[in-house]
Structure 1
Amino acid sequence: MMLDYRARYIPVQQESSDVNNSQAVPVSDSAVTDDDDLDALFTTNIDIEQSKENHVHPMDVQMAAFHFSDSFLKQKMITKLSQCQYALPLLVPDPLTSNIDCPLWTFRQLTKTWKISTTKENATTVTMKSMPIYKAETPMVSFFRLGSMSLSKSQLMNALINNRHDTFFHRNCKGSTKSRHLMDGVAEIAWYCPAGKDNDFFTDCIAFCNLHGDSLANVKQREILTEMSSVIVVLVPTLDKSQESTAVIYMLYKSSKPLIILIADNECSAVHMEPQKYKLGLKERSQTNVSEELKKIIKSLLSGPHTSFRLETMADVSVVKVDENQKICQNGKSAAMKIIELIEGMNVAKIKDKFLPCQGQLWSNWCKINKELHHLKGHIEKEKAQKTHQLMKLREKQCKASNSKLMKLFTHSLQSLPPKEREYFLTWTQILIVALSTDDLSSILQNYDETWSEVLVLKKKHDKSYKLKHKQTELELLSKKLQSATFGLEHIFREMGQIYEAHQTLRKLSLSRQPDWTKYPELAADLMISGHPMELMDGDAGHVPLIWISSLLKEVINKLGDQRVFVLSVLGVQSSGKSTMLNAMFGLQFTVSAGRCTKGAYMQLVKLSEEIKDKYKFDYILVVDTEGLRALELAGNATLHHDNELATFVVGLGNMTLINIFGENPAEMQDVLQIVVQAFMRMKKVKLSPSCVFVHQNVTDITAAEKNMDGKRRLQEKLDKMAQLAAKEEVCDVECFSDVIAFDVQKDVKYFAQLWEGSPPMAPPNPGYSESVQELKSIILSKKTLTDSPPISEIQELKSRLSSKNK
């Protein structure tokens, strides 16, 4: 869950009643004398009990955890394994029944992104593709062996996919043992995703499937893979008609499937025997040499007509038991499909206008007038009455529009389904919505990515020309287009909030044909307690729906009691890795990708286990993720005003705020520090005293103490300077940053290594990054042991205070 791929190699010892007395090295049981010491040296008489392996095979540990997890934990496990660039179980023999299971459900939340580079008339075009992997139609190259082999098939496959990372666990990996119990017969899958560069192994996304164990003993799995594959690669110890494997090889050779036979005891180079049939010797040849030849052959075979594989088609294989066929899962899917049938075939950009009308222009206008209400000029009483009347009229319009069929279906399912079915319903709804909008979003994101890169280049050149303004305008239009086309569960929850606020403001009871809005806070509280993130600040309107949030937290208190909560918030520039850091720290699933993905602020409850509650003096952590400061599509005063409002709210809300700084750009750092210091200054004025830790990410050498000391000194100087400037603006008596907030530059500044170990999309997370995140988490929690955390009710009151100060 912490994105540290080394967890796979942690040795797990077998239980033994005699562990303390066991010897690390087996001792010969031969009696050695002066005359026969040489005989003792060459004896093989070792105590069998002593020579037994004393730890469990790492993949047995992984599969045991997988077998004993429920569907949702399995889904999270597979998502994290995929992020670590590890292979995923596709076909899994049930240890009890020997049925072949396909955990299709676990793949549903995986999205893969890749870039295809094509050259035409000396011009290279790079096209980005991003989609749920279960929908992707790709070639599949399957590997299996017939008989025993001294060569590692998995290691050879790693050389084809990523020669710097062990995608498939193999016999030479750390912690491997001779025996394994839960991996034989398991077929794992991994995808090669090109980066659109000259050094890509392959030019398009390819699925690689690896059947573990002897395929002569795993006939069902071998036949399934043979049917599904675009190319089959078979490893054999020898090619001999007398071998047991001959019948299988003959059948594969006569089939229409492209086939590559790798022969362990043969020295021959690649031989093209018949159309789409090759053999290649492995004897006395380096793995590099073999993998290069294999790449060429596979490329050649896939350059012509070939079959494609789509993960979703596994549900049609009769001999496979698919996890999604469970009744509880199907009930959740059926409820979700009722919503999808409403919006299927529609222009994605029009869905929110039609089915979620309360949060669009009506809510945006309400927020605008509400801000004006707090900055009245001229005839104040008259203007106040006019603005209040306008607000009420907008609420009336929201009430009239609050009867969409989508919201009726959604809230009915939330209320009527049992907890487990409700969880399936929510997950299915999100999965199916994402699938609907994939193509539209992929196209917009490609344009956004290209324009964003151009803006960055122009900004680095300090370009003052019309071109920069034009590109920023283009980026703003793309951002609005992206905003319209982005549709997910968070928008449905936002609509629930607006329906509730409108009816609550007008005190209107629901008619029989309207949804029972009074139940909405309770429904949302149940979801928040079970770990769903809830929107705290609407990023589109830039406003906190106080009536909704207060009622939601009140329901949380009713259900949990007034628990002690530590609020951890984060601030930083756009795409600086804030959400990724929080996900790695607490095993959460905040949205992460390039561009401005998080809009506004989201809160998620993390429950502490009973064992550590007393140690840390709080019961829950409320993690607040926020949108990026200095958004590229915003410009000038609008950016500064927006950022100051966001920073003031987030800093005031958190018991501790992580200030996330990415890279070593002094100008960018200055902008962020100015906003942050101003926010802390405002907290001082309203008698709030939050704390902060500066997180400096993507530092090239986090071990260079001297360089880091110099960096800390310069940061302290900048903070002091910013504090003096902010003091003049806020009319405060402040000489340095530590006058504003308790801050120790030696302890409260942390340096993080870069996130990726290599270049995405095939790079795994850097273990050094995971270590830094966990060290930071320990520091955060240890700081909170010194003070008692406030109950939820105080956080509820704080929101109101901050909102009024921030208008």
Structure 2
Amino acid sequence: MSMCQFAVPLILPAVDSNSHTFLLFGLRDIVKRWIPNNQRQQKEYAEESIVQHSIPVISFVRLGEYSLSKSKILNQVLSPEEQAHDFFVHHDINGGDVNRKIADGLVEVAWYLPAGMESDLFHDPITITNLRGDLQNNKKPFCFLSKISQTVFIFIEDNKALESHHFTDINVSCKNYFFIINLQSSKIIDGKLKTFLTNLSCVESRKYLFMIHKDNKDTARKNIEYLTKIFPDLKQNIIVLNPRISQERQISIKLQVLMKELTSKKENTNALQDMAQVAYDVRIDVDENCKECKDTRTLALEITKSIGDVAVYKKETMKLQGDAWIELAKLEKELCQMKNQGNLSGQAYKSQLIKRIEDLRRQQSQQRLPEDMKKFLDALIRMSKEVLPFFLKWLKFYLDAISRDSILQVQQTEEKGLGKNISDRNLGMEHFLRELGQFYEAECFMKESGEIQDRQRKFHHLPEIGARLLLDGFPLELIDGDASNIPL
């Protein structure tokens, strides 16, 4: 969903209870790339897991019913006028008019990431969250958003249904609340809305925006006269909606201006992974809080904590790969093609190649399994089908983060002519699996040549583990591009 630029769930409500879950673990796979504002001239991009980078959060919620589509407004806020994209589902898209059953209380999240161009709507990354449903019925997620957001835009409309809601319950003096008040054709009357507006006029922050409709000019004029009396700077905070132009578009243009002003202050920027404590404080569960997730994270950290220089680590820990494996692959290919036979007879040349392959396999079999590889193999053997995916995801997360940092350093030094091969700086789970595969092939050779017995084998169960990983949906890389080899 994220790769297709769709909003993804951040807080998921339970179907059968009033509980909610913060999907931090589910978001750790998302990696984004953008060009920071201070690197626009150099065109140097940043690439990071979206849960680790500190980005200002701007949230959108509504109080009561709202005649305009909040999601549609957000889509237009995040899209250039000529390139509209549906980040958030709304009722005008295919399937968007399905009756809502479990979406109330759902918080979705999307990101705007600049490309370092003048046409960027925003020159700094922004996290956008959208609370589905009425905030009065979803106080936990609303409280969470209030605590983590730089600004919370609250959409309010003056329809009769709102008279049942408690306007006065909202703390209008909260510094990060920004009220978007849609005054339709009806006149402002005595009641909770009028009390709310009076309280709002006493706040120094002046964070409000009124929308007046031209449908009834007399009512619109009276509403403006009333608002002018209590809001001295009304001209800067009012939109008189033109009925001939899309109302959502008119509002979105104003919101873009407001968001640029708010995000330029760079206040209250936190990474998503640092918001877990806030979720606990408002009694929202965190998906990483389960025992399986905690234990496997600890093991993944133990395996990756010793990785400093990636190229050095691969050379010292994964000795069966690299030059030796590349030579093996070339020898096996030459054994089939016999291109460099020269003056030797076919049998003599073939015997020479086989002898060299046997020597390399013996050298491989004499290597000891490194400690990190032991921990990795032990996890593959002993972990249950339910626990293993947690471990594999954590390990992939940490290895990817290490590789990104290492490759970035290489790319920066390559500009000065000091860079190494980027492939040497890439480290993933496939490298761990390849190393185990080479141990298995070396052991198979020793068994076939009669140099070890069945009872001495240590890696005979690896094919079973590989099959189990495939059946569980984990991809295994069969073709190794570095060595141009298919280790079957």
The answer to whether structure 1 residue 339 and structure 2 residue 299 are counterparts is: no
Q: Mark the CA change 1:278 to 1:109 in structure 2 (over 3 Å): closer, same or farther.
A: same
- Tell me, in whole angstroms, the C-alpha distance in 2 between the residues paired with 1:174 and 1:105: 30
The answer to whether structure 1 residue 144 and structure 2 residue 105 are counterparts is: no
Map of 1:490 onto structure 2: 430
Q: Of the candidates 288, 291, 294, which is equivalent to residue 255 of structure 2?
A: 294
Map of 1:132 onto structure 2: 49
CA positional deviation for 1:176: 4.2
**Alpha carbons 2:90, 2:97 under 8 Å: kept:** no
Map of 1:531 onto structure 2: 473
Map of 1:716 onto structure 2: none
CA positional deviation for 1:251: 4.1
Q: Mark the CA change 1:108 to 1:509 in structure 2 (over 3 Å): closer, same or farther.
A: farther
CA positional deviation for 1:148: 2.4
AA aligned opposite 1:129: A
- Tell me, in whole angstroms, the C-alpha distance in 2 between the residues paired with 1:363 and 1:130: 31
Map of 1:322 onto structure 2: 286
Q: Mark the CA change 1:219 to 1:485 in structure 2 (over 3 Å): closer, same or farther.
A: same
Q: Of the candidates 479, 484, 487, which is equivalent to residue 542 of structure 1?
A: 484
What is the 5 A alignment of 1:227-242? 227-238=147-158
Map of 1:693 onto structure 2: none
Q: Of the candidates 334, 349, 356, which is equivalent to residue 318 of structure 2?
A: 356
- Tell me, in whole angstroms, the C-alpha distance in 2 between the residues paired with 1:528 and 1:179: 38
- Tell me, in whole angstroms, the C-alpha distance in 1 between the residues paired with 2:452 and 2:378: 18
Q: Of the candidates 369, 373, 393, which is equivalent to residue 403 of structure 1?
A: 369
What is the 5 A alignment of 1:424-503? 424-442=390-408, 444=410, 481-503=421-443
Q: Of the candidates 338, 342, 345, which is equivalent to residue 377 of structure 1?
A: 342
CA positional deviation for 1:140: 0.6
- Tell me, in whole angstroms, the C-alpha distance in 2 between the residues paired with 1:353 and 1:151: 60
Q: Mark the CA change 1:174 to 1:544 in structure 2 (over 3 Å): closer, same or farther.
A: closer
CA positional deviation for 1:502: 1.5
CA deviation vs aligned residue, 1:371-395 (integer Å, no higher than 9, x gap): 4553321234665554443333322
Map of 1:246 onto structure 2: 168
AA aligned opposite 2:179: I
**Alpha carbons 1:510, 1:517 under 8 Å: kept:** no
CA positional deviation for 1:210: 0.7
**Alpha carbons 1:276, 1:301 under 8 Å: kept:** no
Q: Mark the CA change 1:102 to 1:379 in structure 2 (over 3 Å): closer, same or farther.
A: same
CA positional deviation for 1:180: 2.2
Q: Mark the CA change 1:262 to 1:387 in structure 2 (over 3 Å): closer, same or farther.
A: same
- Tell me, in whole angstroms, the C-alpha distance in 2 between the residues paired with 1:311 and 1:157: 21
Map of 1:281 onto structure 2: 210
Q: Answer 1 or 2: higher relative contact order, Cα 8 Å, separation at least 6.
A: 2
Q: Mark the CA change 1:96 to 1:135 in structure 2 (over 3 Å): closer, same or farther.
A: same
TM superposition score normalised by structure 2: 0.78
CA deviation vs aligned residue, 1:658-706 (integer Å, no higher than 9, x gap): xxxxxxxxxxxxxxxxxxxxxxxxxxxxxxxxxxxxxxxxxxxxxxxxx
Q: Mark the CA change 1:249 to 1:287 in structure 2 (over 3 Å): closer, same or farther.
A: farther
- Tell me, in whole angstroms, the C-alpha distance in 2 between the residues paired with 1:129 and 1:428: 22
What SS does structure 1 have at the residue aligned with 2:55?
coil
Relative to structure 2, which stretch is displaced further, 235-244 or 367-376? 235-244
- Tell me, in whole angstroms, the C-alpha distance in 2 between the residues paired with 1:435 and 1:219: 35
CA positional deviation for 1:417: 1.2
CA positional deviation for 1:281: 1.6
The answer to whether structure 1 residue 506 and structure 2 residue 428 are counterparts is: no
CA deviation vs aligned residue, 1:499-525 (integer Å, no higher than 9, x gap): 11122222354999x981222222112
Q: Which runs of 5+ in 1 are unaligned?
A: 1-80, 452-473, 550-807
What SS does structure 2 have at the residue aligned with 1:541?
coil
Map of 2:463 onto structure 1: 521
Map of 1:694 onto structure 2: none
CA positional deviation for 1:283: 2.4
Map of 1:159 onto structure 2: 76
Q: Mark the CA change 1:211 to 1:354 in structure 2 (over 3 Å): closer, same or farther.
A: same
CA deviation vs aligned residue, 1:18-58 (integer Å, no higher than 9, x gap): xxxxxxxxxxxxxxxxxxxxxxxxxxxxxxxxxxxxxxxxx
- Tell me, in whole angstroms, the C-alpha distance in 2 between the residues paired with 1:482 and 1:428: 23
- Tell me, in whole angstroms, the C-alpha distance in 2 between the residues paired with 1:131 and 1:264: 39
- Tell me, in whole angstroms, the C-alpha distance in 1 between the residues paired with 2:393 and 2:457: 22
CA positional deviation for 1:113: 1.8
CA deviation vs aligned residue, 1:704-759 (integer Å, no higher than 9, x gap): xxxxxxxxxxxxxxxxxxxxxxxxxxxxxxxxxxxxxxxxxxxxxxxxxxxxxxxx
What SS does structure 2 have at the residue aligned with 1:495?
helix
**Alpha carbons 1:403, 1:515 under 8 Å: kept:** no
Q: Mark the CA change 1:188 to 1:441 in structure 2 (over 3 Å): closer, same or farther.
A: same
TM superposition score normalised by structure 1: 0.49
CA positional deviation for 1:329: 3.2
- Tell me, in whole angstroms, the C-alpha distance in 2 between the residues paired with 1:534 and 1:178: 39
Map of 1:419 onto structure 2: 385
**Alpha carbons 2:64, 2:165 under 8 Å: kept:** no
The answer to whether structure 1 residue 393 and structure 2 residue 311 are counterparts is: no
- Tell me, in whole angstroms, the C-alpha distance in 1 between the residues paired with 2:206 and 2:5: 31
Q: Which runs of 5+ in 2 are unaligned?
A: 186-199, 214-240, 242-246
